[in-house]
Amino acid sequence: MSPVRLGAVGYLNARPLVYGLDRSPAFSLRFDVPSQCAALLHQGSIDAGLIPSIEYLHGDYRIVPDLAIASRGPVVSVALYTRKPIGDVRSMAVDTSSRTSVALVRVLCARVFRITPALHVARPDLAAMLTAADAALLIGDNALFQPVVGSRQPAVEKIDLGEVWTDLTGLPFVYAMWAGRPGALQEEHVRLLQEARRAGIAHCEEIARAYCPDSRERETIAAGYLRDNIRYHFGPDEQAGLDLFYRYAVEAGVVESAGELRFYR
């Protein structure tokens, strides 16, 4: 049989989920930004993808059980940077590499921050974004490795959106999960993906070292992030958090329907 075409996220936080899959004859693997992973799946150019959670609602997909990129509390890599008190923000520059993060911003603006800022798309360059808007959304490696707030941007506050979500709901937030069309993955494929996660979690230090070969400082940040901030299971609490996110996204006008979580068996 032909290998299953997998689309994975190129960010550090996805590496434990794809550990060793590039050497598996069962899969062919490519890396893209989250929004492109989703676009390829929607187009049928890949069989399964590590897609932003909001994208699951835009097709007839099944989720690989017990695998996710999630956080419970601070996530570090999904953050708003503001030049004003958040209640005074009227404009936001957003990196649309992941539509889930943009949807989360809209939900939190409605439910927590009580603001309705104008959003516009921008390249993930914090200085340029904050020149054009009151606040900026950065995700992934761009947020994780952003220089410490206060060094070059002394008037900028960083708001960790994973922390805000858990403070609001008491639940984890699911940023991405493996999903594909019904029948795209068989039981053996599911087992291999789950085994890759187990091996990846056991080798977080190695992953961080390989990902940041030229900087001990970045390697330390990466290892701590994989160990302490990101969760890779999709259990009952993660399902409850995702269901609630979908419901809030409908109420905020981000999507039309919350849908139903369906899993591969």
Q: Are 137 and 80 in contact (CB under 8 A)?
A: yes
> Residue 69 phi/psi, 5° resolution?
-105, 115
Residues of the chain with CATH 3.40.190.10: 4-70+173-251, 78-169
Tell me: pLDDT of 66 over 60. yes
Tokens of 262: 């369906």
Query: Mean pLDDT throughout 3-24?
Result: 95
Tell me: pLDDT of 148 over 60. no
Tell me: pLDDT of 150 over 60. no
pLDDT range class, residue 97, cuts 50, 70, 90: confident
Model-level pTM greater than 0.85?
yes
Helices 204-211 and 216-228: angle between axes, nearest 10 degrees = 140
Tell me: pLDDT of 78 over 80. yes
Tell me: pLDDT of 140 over 60. yes
Query: Mean pLDDT throughout 227-249?
Result: 97
pLDDT range class, residue 154, cuts 50, 70, 90: low
Q: Does the domain made of 4-70+173-251 have the CATH classification 3.40.190.10?
A: yes
Spatial separation of the C-alpha atoms in residues 229 and 227, rounded to whole Å: 6
Tell me: pLDDT of 3 over 90. yes
Portion of the chain with pLDDT greater than 90, in percent: 91
CATH value of 78-169 in 2.40.50.140, 3.40.190.10, 1.10.3470.10, 1.10.150.130 = 3.40.190.10
Number of H helices, E strands in the chain: 9, 11
